[in-house]
Structure 1
């Protein structure tokens, strides 16, 4: 019968114990790191797009295949009362926000309410002229940019904190709904 003596403790026992502890810490680190990945919830806006197309008395548009990977639709709000309007929100690949808004409301009021900015010239997107609007960054507000296209019966606005390049990408992806 032998009794435990500290002098008889081996390095192997110590290494095994440390290995178990390091293994547990690695598993915990992997679990915690995996939980930090941002997940942006996506919405299916196809029903709102179809309802808008069936309800509106104007040509409606929705993003088509021209919208590159990385754009995540995050919200969709459809109003079928008078005026008929739709707002579709996106998280952009640059982690900014962009919205598509269209309505048959009074154009000047709709533009002022949606853009919250001043006219800043025009830009050409796939052969169509869009008016640029911009609100300068203020201490309590983020910069806001917009592209506006007036049609005969409706106004289309692409707006958000995204840069004009991303807003032009969204505007260029719009396809008329039949």
Structure 2
């Protein structure tokens, strides 16, 4: 037993144990700031506007403390274009804004909200938005069906946070 406590081997074993303990401590305590990648959506929104026959809706500014972290254009079930903008909110919940002129509008809204059950309305800038809830997915959605486009703000955020994004949405001129 003395062999591991005396001389070079004892020193090497003690050094190894200290380094391993320090490494474990650093591994467990990797503090630092949370990093959420920021994704600029301006080009995606502009490209979307060139492919659809209506004025595109987009945020005039990001709500305070929100980080835009995803954006894409995809084809919906009926072949219509769909714009998706994703955010991490100031409370670090997830919110997505989706819009499309997919018909029927109700099917698009139901698919984005993961439910067809309306749970009331919420006024945003004087306009009524349908509230929809999918409890088993912890998902709340605000839906607004307009003559030429359907808007959906959905995610794990609470109603006031969803309303923050809906409040900064404005229709841009077509083209």
What corresponds to 1:14 in structure 2?
Answer: none
Q: SS of the residue aligned with 2:50?
A: helix
Structure 2 residues not aligned, in runs of 5+: 1-21
1:171 aligns with 2:169: no
Query: Any conservation in 2 of the 1:55–1:80 contact (CA below 8 Å)?
Result: no
**Greater than 2 Å deviation, 4+ residue runs:** 32-36, 79-82
Across the aligned residues of Structure 1 and Structure 2, the Cα RMSD in angstroms comes to 2.2
What corresponds to 1:110 in structure 2?
Answer: 108
In 1, the alpha carbon distance for the partners of 2:37 and 2:31 equals: 15
In 2, the alpha carbon distance for the partners of 1:164 and 1:130 equals: 11
Query: Normalised by the size of structure 2, how large is the TM-score?
Result: 0.76
Larger Rg: 1
What corresponds to 2:88 in structure 1?
Answer: 91
How many residues align structurally? Answer: 147
In 2, the alpha carbon distance for the partners of 1:177 and 1:156 equals: 14
Deviation of residue 75 (structure 1)? 0.7
What corresponds to 1:12 in structure 2?
Answer: none
* CA deviation vs aligned residue, 1:118-146 (integer Å, no higher than 9, x gap): 2101111001111110011x3xxx31000
Query: Normalised by the size of structure 1, how large is the TM-score?
Result: 0.75
Query: Any conservation in 2 of the 1:125–1:172 contact (CA below 8 Å)?
Result: yes
Distance 1:33 1:134, change over 3 A: same
Q: SS of the residue aligned with 1:170?
A: helix
